[in-house]
Amino acid sequence: MPDPVGCFPVFTLLLGYGAKYLSDWFQDKRTLERERETRRAIRQDVIAERRTQFQRQTLLDLQPAVMDMARQTGKMHHHDLMGYRTTGIFHLQTYPDDVNENFRAATALTSMLSVRVNDHEVRALTAAFKSAASDVGVAKNPADSDSSMDTMSQLFIELQERIGIVLRALDEDDTKQQEQLAKIK
C-alpha cells in the first residue's frame, strides 16, 4: 500500500495543475468573449460607416442632378416663352432633342438617387420638385408655366437646404462613430 504522506505532494501537484487549467480556461473564455464583442462592435461600426458614406455620396450626387433638372426645365420654359412671343401660341413647338433628352436623363437620375435616400423629407421634396418641373413642360399657358417655375424654384431651395441639413447630421454622426471606434481600439 502506498504511503499516504508520500502521495500528498503528487496529489497537491495534480490539484495545482487542475486548478491552473480551470483558471486558464475561464480566463481564455472571458478573453474570447471580449474579443468576440469587440469584433462585433467593430463590424457594426464598419457597416454603419459604409451606410453613412453611401448616404453622403448619394446626397452629394443628388444635388447636381437636381440642379441639372432645374437647368433643363429652365431651357424648356425659355423655349416655350420664345415660341409664344413669336407665334402667339404657347407650347406650339416640340422641344429640341437635346433639351428633351437632357431633361429625361436628369429626371431619371434624380429619381434613381432620391429613392436611395433615407431621409423622408428629402424624398418628398424631390418628388414635389420633379412634379413641378414636369408641370412646366405640360403647362397650357404662360401663367401656369411661370407659376410652376416659381414653385419649382422654391422647392429647389428647400430641397438643397434639407440636403445640407442631412449632410451636416451625417458628419456629426460620423464624428461620434469615429470617437466610439477609437475607444474600442
What Å distances lie between residue 111 and 8, 11, 54, 105, 157, CA to CA?
Answer: 82, 78, 16, 10, 18
- pLDDT by residue for the chain (185 residues), tens only, comes to 566 666 777 778 777 888 887 888 888 888 888 888 888 888 888 888 899 999 999 999 999 999 999 999 999 999 999 999 999 898 878 899 999 999 999 999 999 999 999 999 999 999 999 999 999 999 999 999 999 999 999 999 999 999 999 999 998 876 665 565 566 55
Backbone angles phi, psi at 86, to 5 degrees: -80, -45
The domain ranges of the chain are 4-184
CB 72 within 8 A of CB 99: yes
Q: HSE-up of 76 (CA within 13 Å, CB side)?
A: 29
Q: For the chain, how many helices (H) and strands (E)? A: 4, 0
pLDDT recorded at residue 39: 85
- Domain 4-184: give its CATH architecture: Up-down Bundle (1.20)
Give residue for cell 437647368. 71
